[in-house]
Amino acid sequence: MKRLLAAFGVAGLVAAGALLTAAPASAAAADTASVSVVHGIPNTPVNVFVNGKSTIADFQPLTVAGPLQLPPGSYEVTVFPAADTAGTGTPVIKASATVAAGDNVTLVAHLTADGKPTITPYVNDVSSIAAGQARLVVRHDAAAPAVDVRANGAVAFPGLVNPKEASADLAAGTISADVVLAGTSTVAIGPADLTLKEGTATFVFAVGSAADKTLGLVVQTMTGMDSAPSGVPAGTGGQSASLYSQPGWVAVMAGLGLAMAAAGLFALRSGRRRLAGN
């Protein structure tokens, strides 16, 4: 699940190359990679081209596309302004990503901490979740300083910086989440109610720009990670216990019976001998 991210500038463009390694075990059966794309750059509708083909047209800011099911391999992702429908002009972002079968990845087009467009790939943790719980993953993809993410007023994820993520499995339910400047109670985003459904993962992306006052949240949920409770303890009395299941008494009784039968046989034999002896 480790991620290798190398970002480098090419002719004024920001390019990000992502090498995504082995698939999580739970998704090993899949022969494709599941790839979602988040548009986290405000006020900039775009067209997304993958390997030169228009894949997501008129992609609106603060929305999520996909997941696409892609065969394993290396992909070149180029992002053009929405007006450039042919993808012939100068791309806003250009990046390449290598995905393996079974990967579950979200590519986020967003601003760096200092406001430059970039793409960050995240490997999504879709491992199974304990019964009764839900997973919350928060990702800092905004042109903003370090933040604390609070749940119901208490700091849940402290000191998150662009483009880091933090994650926890919590009791399923609705929480009120907000984002504050790290170490303060100055609210930067929110509060917003998040319904964390049992057995699902909720990915929250903080995007936009603090300087431009365009900070916002994009939320993506993934389902199917539920697991069963660990048991069904439905009886404490013992009144309904089956005799069969305590076979100790059966063995004792059978042994006793055999002993009696043997004694009887012995008595018979000695009795007969005595009779015959006369």
Site for another protein in 232-271 (CB under 8 A): 232-247, 249-250, 253-254, 256-271
> What minimum distance in Å lies between the beta carbon of 118 and another protein?
19
Contacts of 265 (CB under 8 A, 6+ apart): none
Q: Is 225 in the site for another protein (CB under 8 A)?
A: yes
> What minimum distance in Å lies between the beta carbon of 12 and another protein?
27
Which tokens sit at 173?
């339910």
Closest to 60 measured CA to CA, from 42, 33, 75, 84: 42
Closest to 32 measured CA to CA, from 107, 125, 101: 101
> What minimum distance in Å lies between the beta carbon of 183 and another protein?
20
Answer for which of 12, 114, 154, 278 binds another protein (CB under 8 A) is: 278
Answer for which of 118, 120, 124, 162 binds another protein (CB under 8 A) is: 124
Q: What is the CA radius of gyration of the chain?
A: 32
CA separation for the pair 278, 275 (Å, rounded): 6
Which tokens sit at 203?
């990915």
SS3 at position 256: helix
Answer for which of 17, 81, 132, 158 binds another protein (CB under 8 A) is: 132
Site track for another protein across 172-191, x = CB under 8 A: x----------------xx-
Whose Cβ is closer to another protein: residue 98's or residue 214's? Answer: 214
The DSSP symbol for 151 reads E
CA separation for the pair 204, 251 (Å, rounded): 63
- Rule CB under 8 A: which of 17-46 touch another protein? 26-27, 29-32, 34, 36, 42
Answer for which of 16, 79, 137, 218 binds another protein (CB under 8 A) is: 218
Whose Cβ is closer to another protein: residue 88's or residue 245's? Answer: 245
- Rule CB under 8 A: which of 53-112 touch another protein? 53, 55-60, 62-71, 104
CB atoms closer than 10 angstroms to residue 72: 16
Whose Cβ is closer to another protein: residue 161's or residue 267's? Answer: 267
Contact predicate 216/208, CB 8 Å: yes
Answer for which of 5, 7, 100, 130 binds another protein (CB under 8 A) is: 130
Residues in contact with another protein, total (CB under 8 A)?
104
Instruction: Find residue 56's DSSP bridge partners.
Output: 48
